[in-house]
Chains A and B, each alone.
Chain A
Amino acid sequence: MIGIATIAIFVFTAVFAPFIAPYPEDVIAVHMDARLLPPSTAHLLGTDEMGRDIFSRAVFGSRVSLTVIAVVVGLSAAVGILIGAVAGFLGGKIDEIVMRITDMFLAFPSILLAMAIAAALGPSLINAMIAITTTWWPWYARLVRGQVLSIKERPFVEAAVTLGAGKGRIIFRHILPNSLSPILVQMSMDAGYVLLTAAGLSFIGLGAQPPTPEWGLMISLGRIYMPQWWWCATFPGLAIMITVLGLNLIGDTLTEVLEPRGSKAG
C-alpha cells in the first residue's frame, strides 16, 4: 500500500507539475537576489545557488525521472524481449551467438559501460538514456530466452506449429503472452535501479545538463555548497530515495503476487 501510494503521488506530481510547483518558472529562471535561502514558508525546501525554488525544481524533476524510467525500462524490455524471444525460439547458432553477446555485456558493471557510452555520445539526458538502455537490454534478453525455452516445448505451442502458424505468430501470440509475469516483475524491479543509475550519471556530469531539474544533477550542483547550505543537495536526494523506495515496494509486491515462492522462473 505504501509503495502504491508513493508511486501514485510520484506520477501525479510528474503529470501535474506545473500546477503543483509554487514557482513553475524556476525550472529555468534565475533570481540572484534569492540565492541559497534556507527552507521557509515562502520556499519549502529553500533555494539553490541560482535563487531557484528547490521544491518547484524537485517537482519538475519527477517529470524528468518518470520519463527516464518509462523510456529506459520500456526500450530495454522491448529490445531485450525481441532478441531473447528470437534467440530462444530459433535456438542453435543464433541462440549461442546472442547468449555470448549478452555474456559480454553482463561481464562487467553496467555503470562503467554506460559511462563510456554516455561520454562518447556527449553528456546529455537523452544520451544517458541511450547509454543505460544499451547496458540494460541483456537482462531481458536472458530472462525471455529462458522463458521461451521452457514454454516452446508445451503442447499448445506444438499445436500451433502443427496448425501451420508462422514463427512470428507463435512467438508473439502464444509464447510471449505466457511469459509476461517474470517480465513485469523484472520491469518493476528495474525501475528503481534505472532511476539510481541515471541520477548517478548526472551526478558525475555525464547525464542531464543544467538547467534541467534532474535530481542527480541537483545533488551534484548542490554538493559544492555543503555543509553550510545543506538543503541544496539533501532534498533532491530524499526525493530519489522516496521514489525508489516506492518502486521497490511495488516490485516486491508484484513479485509476491505474480511469482509466489516455489514457482520462480529461472
Chain B
Amino acid sequence: MLRRLLGIFLVLIGVTLITFFTIHLVPSDPARLWAGSRATREQVEQTRRQLGLDQPLYVRYAIYLNNLFHGDMGYSCHTRRPVVLDIRDYFPATFELTTLAMILAIVVGLPLGVVSAVKKNTVVDHLSRIFSLAGVSMPSFWFGLMMQLLFASTLRLLPLSGMIDPFVQVHSPIQKVTGLSILDATITGNWTALFSVLEHMILPALVLSYSSLVIITRMVRSSMIEVVKQDYIRTARSKGLSERVVTYKHALKNALLPTTTVIGLSYGFMLGGSVLVESVFDWPGIGLYATKSALIIDYPSILGVTFLFAIIYSAVNLVVDLFYGLIDPRIRYG
C-alpha cells in the first residue's frame, strides 16, 4: 500500500513536470498577459521580475513545486485570484454534476445491461446495442446542443443553460455552507433554489452520463453473459432456484465485480467530458474554468486544474482497486 501511494506521489510530480515544461515550451508571454495589452515595455518587464518569470525554467519549476507543497498554486491571470480559491469555488459545481451523471449512468445502465444479457439477441438487446453505439459515436458537445434544441428551445421543458435561474439567484440566493449548491440549498431549506439548480442540472447531467451509461451497460451485459456460463449458475438452476434468484442473486452479483472497476474509471473520464459539456451548458464548473484558462494560456490555472484532475484520477483508481480487493477475496495486495 505504501509503495502504491509512493507511486501515485511520483506520478503526480511527473504530471506537474510534463504540464509545466510542455506549456512553457512555446514563446508566449505570461508577463504581457498579466500586465495587460496596454502596458508599456517597462511595466511588462517589471511584472516579469515580480512574477519571477525572468528566472530559468528549472528554477521556476522548483519554485512552483515548493509553493505547491505549501498549498499555493499561484495566481490566475484571468480571475486575478489565487488558483486554489478558484478551484475551491468552481470544483463543487463539477463534483455535483459528475455525481448526478454517475448516479444516472448506474441507475439506467445496470438494469439495461441485465435486460440485454437476459434477453440476448432479441429486439431489446439489438435496440440496446444501437443505443450504445450511438452513445459512443456522438460528440458530447453536439449531443448537448441537440438536447438544448429539443428540451429547452422546442419543448420549453427545461432551462437552456446556467446553474440557477437569475431571478432565483437574486431573490432567493443559496447561502454557502459547504460550497455544494444542492447540499447547501437542502441544509438551509431553500427549496426554490434547490428546484432551480436541479432543473438546470438535468440536461448537462444526462449528456455527461450517456457515454458512461453505455460503457456500464456493455460491461454488465458481457459480464453477465460470461457469468451465466459458469458451473455455479448451472448448480443454482439444477437446485430449482427461480430464474429471478439465479439472475439477480448469483449472476449479477458476480457480474458487478468488473463493472465496479468500469464505474470507478468512468468517474475519472467524466471529468474530461465535463470540459466540453460545461462549455455547452455554461455550467460554472472546473471544466469551464479550464477551457477559459486554456484559451488565454493562463499557465497557473492550467497547471492547477491538471494537477487537480490528476489527483482525482489517481484517487479514484486507488479506491477502485482497494474496493475490488475488498469485494473479491481472491485479490490480494502486497
CB atoms of B310 and A245 under 8 A apart = no
- CB of B97 within 8 A of chain A? no
Q: Which of B54-62, B197-205, B230-238, B266-274 lies at the interface with chain A? A: B266-274
- CB of A55 within 8 A of chain B? no
CB atoms of A120 and B297 under 8 A apart = yes
Interface members, chain A 184-201 (any B CB < 8 Å)? 192, 196, 199-200
Contact (A219, B18) CB under 8 Å given A203-B276, A241-B134: no
- CB of B212 within 8 A of chain A? no
What is the interface of chain B mostly: helix, strand, loop, or mixed?
A: helix
- CB of A152 within 8 A of chain B? no
CB atoms of B153 and A109 under 8 A apart = no
Interface string of B129-149 (1 = CB under 8 A from A): 000011011111111011011
Residues of A within 8 A of B153 (CB): 226-227
A21-B10 Cα distance, complex, nearest whole Å: 53
CB atoms of B139 and A200 under 8 A apart = yes
CB-nearest residue of chain B to A215: B139
- How far does the Cβ of B241 sit from chain A's closest Cβ, in whole Å? 27
Interface members, chain A 114-130 (any B CB < 8 Å)? 115-122
Residues of B within 8 A of A242 (CB): 137
Residues of A within 8 A of B136 (CB): 192, 244, 248
CB atoms of B154 and A227 under 8 A apart = yes
A43-B53 Cα distance, complex, nearest whole Å: 54
Contact (A117, B310) CB under 8 Å given A199-B139, A226-B149, A245-B134: no
CB atoms of B272 and A110 under 8 A apart = yes
CB atoms of B134 and A119 under 8 A apart = no
- CB of B12 within 8 A of chain A? yes
Interface members, chain B 282-306 (any A CB < 8 Å)? 290-291, 294-295, 297, 302, 305-306
A237-B207 Cα distance, complex, nearest whole Å: 15
- CB of B19 within 8 A of chain A? yes
Residues of A within 8 A of B22 (CB): 113, 116-117, 120, 134
- How far does the Cβ of A6 sit from chain B's closest Cβ, in whole Å? 10
Residues of A within 8 A of B10 (CB): 100
Residues of A within 8 A of B137 (CB): 192, 241-242, 244-245, 248
- How far does the Cβ of A50 sit from chain B's closest Cβ, in whole Å? 20
Contact (A245, B133) CB under 8 Å given A116-B19, A119-B294, A216-B139: yes
- How far does the Cβ of B217 sit from chain A's closest Cβ, in whole Å? 15
**A105: which of B18, B24, B25, B141 is its contact (CB, 8 Å)?**
B18
A119-B145 Cα distance, complex, nearest whole Å: 24
A116-B294 Cα distance, complex, nearest whole Å: 6
- How far does the Cβ of A39 sit from chain B's closest Cβ, in whole Å? 15
A115-B140 Cα distance, complex, nearest whole Å: 16
Residues of A within 8 A of B148 (CB): 226-227
Interface string of B1-24 (1 = CB under 8 A from A): 000000100111011011100111
A234-B150 Cα distance, complex, nearest whole Å: 12
- CB of B26 within 8 A of chain A? yes
A200-B140 Cα distance, complex, nearest whole Å: 8
- How far does the Cβ of B2 sit from chain A's closest Cβ, in whole Å? 17
The residue among B140, B141, B269 with the most chain A CB atoms within 10 A of its own CB is: B141
CB atoms of B149 and A227 under 8 A apart = yes
CB atoms of A100 and B276 under 8 A apart = no
CB atoms of B276 and A107 under 8 A apart = no
Contact (A249, B142) CB under 8 Å given A112-B309, A116-B23, A205-B295: no
CB-nearest residue of chain A to B268: A109
- B residues contacting the other copy or chain, number (CB 8 A): 51
**B141: which of A118, A120, A200, A234 is its contact (CB, 8 Å)?**
A200
Q: Give the size category of A's interface with B.
A: 35 or more
- CB of A44 within 8 A of chain B? no
Contact (A107, B15) CB under 8 Å given A112-B290, A120-B25, A204-B295: yes
CB atoms of A103 and B11 under 8 A apart = yes
- CB of B50 within 8 A of chain A? no
- CB of A101 within 8 A of chain B? yes
- How far does the Cβ of B16 sit from chain A's closest Cβ, in whole Å? 9
A122-B27 Cα distance, complex, nearest whole Å: 10
CB-nearest residue of chain B to A238: B142
CB atoms of B275 and A111 under 8 A apart = yes
CB atoms of A219 and B142 under 8 A apart = yes
- CB of B279 within 8 A of chain A? yes
CB atoms of B11 and A196 under 8 A apart = no
- CB of B47 within 8 A of chain A? no
CB atoms of A113 and B306 under 8 A apart = yes
- CB of A240 within 8 A of chain B? yes
A76-B219 Cα distance, complex, nearest whole Å: 27
CB-nearest residue of chain A to B28: A120
CB-nearest residue of chain A to B272: A109
A115-B25 Cα distance, complex, nearest whole Å: 14
**B12: which of A107, A122, A203 is its contact (CB, 8 Å)?**
A107
Interface members, chain A 227-266 (any B CB < 8 Å)? 227, 230, 233-234, 236-237, 240-242, 244-245, 248-249
Q: List 15 A-B contacts (CB under 8 A).
A: A104-B11, A108-B306, A109-B271, A112-B272, A112-B305, A113-B18, A116-B22, A116-B294, A117-B23, A120-B23, A121-B26, A219-B141, A226-B145, A230-B149, A244-B139
The 4 residue pairs across chains A and B that have the minimum distance between CB atoms: A109-B272, A237-B142, A104-B14, A227-B153
User: 7 more A-B contacts (CB under 8 A) besides A104-B11, A109-B269, A234-B146?
Assistant: A111-B272, A118-B294, A120-B24, A120-B28, A192-B137, A203-B139, A241-B137
